[in-house]
Amino acid sequence: MGNDRGLTPQAEDFSAWYNEIVQQAELAGHTQVRGCMVIRPYGYRIWELIQAGLDARFKATGHENAYFPLFLPKSALDREAEHVEGFAPETAIVTHAGRAELEEPLVVRPTSEAIIWPIVRDWIQSYRDLPVLLNQWANVVRWELRTRPFLRTTEFLWQEGHTAHASEAEAEEETRRMLGVYRSFMQHEMAMPVLTGRKTESEKFAGAVRTYATEALMKDNRALQAGTSHNLGQNFARAFDVRYQTEDGEHEFVWSTSWGVSTRLIGALIMAHGDDTGLVLPPRLAPYQCVIVPIWRDEDQRTEVLEAGEQARTALAAAGVRVRLDGREGMNPGAKYYEWERRGVPLRLEVGPRDVAAGQLVSVRRFTPEGGDRKRPIPAGELGTAVPALLQSMQEELLEGARARREANTHRGVTSLETFRAIVEGPGGFVFTGWCGDEACENRVKEETKATIRVLPDEEFRSAQPADRCLCGAPSVGEVVRARAY
Amino acid sequence: MGNDRGLTPQAEDFSAWYNEIVQQAELAGHTQVRGCMVIRPYGYRIWELIQAGLDARFKATGHENAYFPLFLPKSALDREAEHVEGFAPETAIVTHAGRAELEEPLVVRPTSEAIIWPIVRDWIQSYRDLPVLLNQWANVVRWELRTRPFLRTTEFLWQEGHTAHASEAEAEEETRRMLGVYRSFMQHEMAMPVLTGRKTESEKFAGAVRTYATEALMKDNRALQAGTSHNLGQNFARAFDVRYQTEDGEHEFVWSTSWGVSTRLIGALIMAHGDDTGLVLPPRLAPYQCVIVPIWRDEDQRTEVLEAGEQARTALAAAGVRVRLDGREGMNPGAKYYEWERRGVPLRLEVGPRDVAAGQLVSVRRFTPEGGDRKRPIPAGELGTAVPALLQSMQEELLEGARARREANTHRGVTSLETFRAIVEGPGGFVFTGWCGDEACENRVKEETKATIRVLPDEEFRSAQPADRCLCGAPSVGEVVRARAY
């Protein structure tokens, strides 16, 4: 279904499907400013739920939120050479303000390392002031040439963690801890299994010593980098002279980290779970977890089913379910089913006159595991326990399904470039291969196949018997995961 | 006290006191970019609590959050002439991006009416799509010449509500409803009583038909405009061609509103309640409502009091109290008392060896009404009920105190310019006078006394016997509230 109702099937044109579902589910829209999107209320509500889930985890790991300026003087960006080269081509510059030309142009933040450290350095005197554990929720601007809603936009919303530590080991530990926080959030809230690992030198963040990432597999079998965590070593501390006094009275540069996820996660959600009917949302991040659709033919029935619907709504809200009663007039139930399925609501509760008589509502799931029942009546008195339990098991089933999909589309031990090319140009997916460690070879494979090294995978993801040769035939220095990616 | 510890007394120099407390309580700091502040974690936590309180009220009144772009094309701002004149002198302009000059410069939003309506117009077809009830949490930029942390900064954080309605009456009702939401929030969460009323033509928002405001009285007896709510009539609908089809099939322009409060509210909190000891925070908005300070002399005592402190912390956290156990070493209890008093924590709980033996903690309030007990022992087993109750009564007492202060500093029925001048140049406060309705007279009084008409007060605030003449001697057309203001 779906295609007859104006949604291109995924298999036909995944990219068209994506653009259509973003519009039709009212997640986002285009604006007058090239590459800037508007995030519509339904899309923004998903972002609020993502924010709440992440923010609680950041606070639980000791981080505090703060807010730093939108602008930085152009000269400040020039302090960290590698960082500058990474971001200069993408920046937006304010040259005039208050009807006059500025003495020094201001850069709209593409990220905030060069804003934060010149400020926070004054908060740090001794080892007692460390660690500094900050996070910021903010908008940033990167002047991208090709943009797509959520995936790559000129302005986007994100969080950026920035921390300072007294030792290299502590900075590394923090970098890894936050990668773990992202991974756990993506699995448990987004129902999206991710691979974790380290980026190659050519793919790492400009200014970082080491970049780690979480990589998810989309429904078209392309990879998507969903979050990154950077160990910045002493690079920014040196550039901005951020020192602390050690217990021994020495003055040392701090060790810093940064880590971020963005509204790109909404794009990941769409492409990790969506199908030809439309969006599929994990219950934990669904603006409405459950929509009640009353069914009536005449005025008497209308009163009766709306009353039953309202009772159900009250019971579910009291049980902590995000629920909506869709009592719109002049719209038949089928049209409502269609709309909420397209918008990915996990559970629909139908209530008609016969259901009222039987003291029940009929639940219909947006997605069902193989062999499961899509429809099931629930006694009205049991809604407050049955629906949360059903949503919880749907959350788990969605993750299990995504995990099975990923396993089915993971290829291990690939050693020949030909086989590799056949996979990435054919079914796609994650391809585990060897790597000689040479950046020139990495670039050559990328140019020839449009597939990149996503990560040097963390131990638990590595193959029991990894390939001992790179795709170029040279001995492998370690296993890598390659894929075409967003 | 206070002045011997480096805080200028309010009576000596209120402005110096303000700047010092912003720094010393670690609320905000200066940055490299003129007029842009950094909001430090303690200040930002207050903002998060303000956001949570307001956001719940916005959602309860049917509003949804969304996110619109940071930039608007310069030509879009030019569409609403009055609005443009209001904001053009204050805007920051992006002329270059991605290493090239832009074809059309972009304005960094000073407010979003001219961004939102060209987008939302496509979401509205018929009366069924109305009302549109939106809110946005965002940063905005206004190039102010003279800036002060929280009160007036080049970049600030705020929320901006934007709504569209099918009739003038509905738009007016919404404008007043949100003014009421602000007033209720300010009273019940900020413990800050406010006057409400309408702005004069010369003080209203550029592009509005009517602007309403909440006005609070600060400790130096100057007024502060804390929130505004604008009935925009059809001005923006006309400028951006936002129409809807009525039930009768006609095409009409919508009626719109906008309303906002900003990080300025943190400045209001500071100046409404602070004293010579430092910040005074209402319990509902305090990052820590309660700080536990353990007191020890030797290692045995330390173990014992820290354990009691930790038990108290757990009990209070379980009771929903935002609590911190200050177990820092190398810092005596007095220094901790001093720091948390300066930072406005409502309640301190001291626990020493004798308290442990007696199974109690000693509560010390940050502020106490006339004749009340500042110190009181609380049995350890009763913390979970006693502390929330104490915080609740402190919240109410703070509001009562502020209300009494305002009444004591409100002057009614003033008719002569001389008396008026003596008040505003002397004690200050809200001065209720008559007004002839003439803008030239309004401006003359403003120039001569630096006091402005704050509002044409809502009925419940008006004097039983209002002055029948303006300060100029001409007959009054209605009572006004005048004051020197921030």
Task: Work out the pLDDT band at A109, boundaries 50, 70, 90.
Answer: very high
Residue B402, in any domain of the structure:
no
Buried b / exposed e along B38-68 (16+ C-beta atoms within 10 A): bbbbbbbbbbbbbeebbbebbeeeebbbbbb
Helical axes A41-60 vs A168-188, angle rounded to 10°: 140
| Distance separating alpha carbons of residues B213 and B453, to the nearest angstrom | 12
pTM equals 0.96
CA distance B486 to chain A (A): 21
**Is the preceding peptide bond at A131 cis, omega within 30 degrees of 0?**
yes
B15 and B160 part of one domain:
yes
Q: What is the pLDDT of residue A2?
A: 37
Report the alpha-carbon distance of residue B292 to residue B313 in Å, rounded. 7
Do A222 and A115 sit in the same domain of this protein? yes
Q: Is B399 part of any domain? A: no
Q: What is the mean pLDDT of residues A91-120?
A: 95
Domain ranges, residue A467: 410-483
**Order of all β-strands in the sheet with A360-365:** A323-325, A290-294, A347-351, A360-365, A375-379
Decide: B118 and B76 in contact? Cβ < 8 Å: yes
The domain that contains B436 carries what CATH number? 3.30.110.30
- List of chain A residues whose C-beta atoms are within 8 Å of the C-beta of residue B31: 68-69, 115, 119
Phi and psi torsions of B113, nearest 5°: -50, -45
Contacts of A75 (CB under 8 A, 6+ apart): A104
pLDDT of residue B77: 82
For chain B, give percent helix, strand, coil, nearest 5: 40, 30, 30
- Mean model confidence pLDDT for chain A: 96
Whether residues B441 and B347 share a domain: the answer is no
Contact between chains at B33 and A99 (C-beta distance less than 8 A): no
**pLDDT attached to residue A5:** 59
The list of chain B residues with pLDDT below 70 reads 1-5
CB contact under 8 A, A155 and B70: yes
Amino acid type, A117 = W
Spatial neighbors of B340 by CB under 8 A, at least 6 apart, are: B288, B291, B293, B326, B348
Query: Among A475, A473, A472, which Cα is nearest to A442's?
Result: A472
Burial of A461 (0-12, 13-18, 19+ CB in 10 A): middle
pLDDT value at residue B80: 77
Q: Per the structure, how many domains does chain A have?
A: 3
Residue A82 vs residue B220, higher pLDDT: B220
Q: Among the three residues A273, A303, A331, which one is the final residue of a domain in this structure?
A: A273
Question: CB-CB: which of B91, B115, B139 is closest to A70?
Answer: B139
Nearest to A66 among B32, B39, B64 (CB): B39
Question: Hey, what are A463's tokens?
Answer: 């193959």
Token pair, residue B440, equals 């030239």
- Render pLDDT for B348-372 as a digit per residue (tens, 0 to 9): 999 999 999 999 999 999 999 888 8
Three-class SS of residue A16?
helix
Q: Are residues A297 and A268 in the same domain?
A: no
Note whether residue B281 is domain-resident: no
In chain A, % helix, strand, coil (3-state, to 5) comes to 40, 30, 30
Nearest CA in chain A to B35: A69
In a domain, A201, yes or no: yes
Chain B residues lying within 8 Å of A40, measured CB to CB: 66, 123
Only one residue has tokens 């050693």, namely A415
Rounded CA separation B124/B451 (Å): 43
Interface of B with A in 156-175 (CB under 8 A): 157
User: Considering the domain boundaries, does residue A281 fall inside one?
Assistant: no
When scoring A77, A87, A94, A107 by the number of chain B Cβ atoms within 10 A, the one with the most, hence best to mutate, is: A94
CA distance, residue A122 to nearest chain B CA (Å): 10
Q: What does the pLDDT read at residue B1?
A: 37
A129 shares its domain with A215 = yes
* pLDDT score, position B5: 59
Residues A379 and A429 in one domain: no
For position A268, which CATH number holds? 3.30.930.10
Helix or strand run (H / E) with residue A43:
helix A41-60
Is the distance from CB of A350 to CB of A361 less than 8 angstroms? yes
Q: Is the pLDDT confidence value at A3 over 70?
A: no
Instruction: Please indicate, yes or no, whether residues A116 and A217 belong to a single structural domain of this protein.
Output: yes
| Domain shared by A215 and A145, yes or no | yes
CB A157 within 8 A of CB A262: yes
Q: What percent of chain B has pLDDT over 90?
A: 92
- At which residue do the structure tokens 């010092």 appear? B20
Min Cα separation A324/chain B (Å): 13
Any CB–CB contact under 8 A between A88 and chain B?
yes
- As a whole number of angstroms, the distance between CA B27 and CA B457 comes to 33
Contact B65 A44 (CB under 8 A): yes
Whether residue A204 sits in one domain with residue A70: yes
Using a CB–CB cutoff of 8 Å, tell me whether B66 touches chain A: yes
B329 in the same domain as B189: no
With CA atoms as reference, report the closest residue to B288 among B325, B255, B262.
B325
DSSP B322-340: -EEE---SSS-HHHHHHHH
pLDDT score at B4: 46
In a domain, A279, yes or no: no
Q: What is the DSSP letter of B192?
A: -
pLDDT exceeds 80 at position A84: no
Chain A interface test: which of B58, B91, B93, B155 (most A C-beta within 10 Å): B93
Q: Looking at the DSSP assignment, which residues form a beta bridge with residue A94? A: A106, B94
**Above 90 in pLDDT, residue A1?**
no
Q: For chain A, report the end-to-end CA distance as a whole number of angstroms.
A: 27
The CATH number for A386's domain is: 3.40.50.800
Q: Are residues B157 and B303 in the same domain?
A: no
Q: Among A100, A446, A413, A222, which Cα is nearest to B145's? A: A100
Locate B58 and state its tokens: 């916005």
Of A37, A64, A69, the CB nearest to B38: A69
Q: Could you tell me the two tokens for B474?
A: 């001409």
Alpha-carbon distances of B179 from B58, B137, B139, B292, B298, rounded to whole Å: 12, 18, 21, 38, 56
DSSP per residue, A114-176: HHHHHHHGGG--BGGG--EEEEEEEEEE---SS-BTTTB-SEEEEEEEEEEESSHHHHHHHHH
Nearest-CA distance A240 → chain B (Å): 13
- Under a CB-based contact definition with an 8 Å cutoff, are residues A169 and A225 in contact? no
Q: Give the residue from B273, B296, B325 where a domain finishes.
A: B273
Nearest CA in chain B to A330: B128
Q: What is the pLDDT of residue B190?
A: 98
Smallest CA–CA distance, residue A457 to chain B, in Å, is: 34
Q: What is the pLDDT of residues B262-280, one digit of tens each?
A: 999 999 999 999 999 999 9
- Radius of gyration of chain B, Cα coordinates, nearest whole angstrom: 25
Band of pLDDT at residue A343, cut at 50, 70 and 90 = very high
- Whether A331 is covered by a domain: the verdict is yes
Residue B220 Cα, gap to closest chain A Cα (Å): 28
The full DSSP string for A341-378 is HHTT-SEEEEE-HHHHHHTEEEEEES---TT--SEEEE
A263 and A302 share a domain?
no
Higher pLDDT, B19 or A6: B19
d(CA B325, CA B315): 12
Does some domain include residue A105? yes
